[in-house]
Amino acid sequence: MARAVVKLPSTVKRGEIVEIRTLVQHAMETGFRRTQLGEVIPRNIIRTFVCAYNGKEIFRAGLHPAIAANPLLAFTTVATESGTITFTWTGDNGFSVTESATITVE
């Protein structure tokens, strides 16, 4: 099971801009590399990342073969209400990881 780390402030003021950082464990094998015997190493990458704030999608990213292993994504959102932020990474070979964090808006 792949690991994921997310970082965001746990308590913020309403209307504040919040930076969210996410890091996920994945080799991001491009599909262009070969073994020493010349065989292609099959592509194995994350295709999609989705972030939802209380169920509503606020950020989405498509990932491609040139993206580094263990992709780090940082983005911002505006704090509107207390609740849960969920993060989902899906990709080749049925890869799927979900992580969540709670945020308190004062």
Partner 1 sequence: MSAGSRARAVAWIFFAATQTVAGAEIPLEERRSGYEFMSRDTRAMQDDDATNPGVFWVLDGEALWNRKAGAAGTACADCHGNARVSMKGVAARYPAWDAARRRPVNLEQRINMCRTERQKAAPLEHENRDLLALTAYVAHQSRGMPITIAPDKRTEPFLNAGRATFMRRQGQLNLACAQCHDERWGKKLAGTTIPQGHPTGYPLYRLEWQSLGSLQRRLRNCMIGIRAEPYPYGAMEFVELELYLMWRARGMKLETPAVRP
Residues at the interface with partner 1 (CB under 8 A): 3, 5-7, 21, 23, 25, 27-28, 68-70, 72
Q: How many other C-beta atoms can be found within 10 angstroms of the C-beta atom of residue 23?
A: 15
Our CB check for partner 1 shows the closer of 14 and 100 to be 100
In the block, residue with structure tokens 């704090």? 79
What 3-state class would DSSP assign to 29? strand
Q: How far is the CB of 82 from partner 1 (least distance, A)?
A: 21
* Rounded distance between C-alpha atoms, residue 100 and residue 98, angstroms: 7
Nearer Cβ to partner 1, position 23 or 105? 23
Nearer to partner 1, 7 or 14 (CB): 7
Closest CA to 101 of 53, 32, 69, 47: 53
Q: Minimum distance between the CB of residue 92 and partner 1, rounded to whole angstroms? A: 17
CB of 94 to partner 1, least distance (A): 20
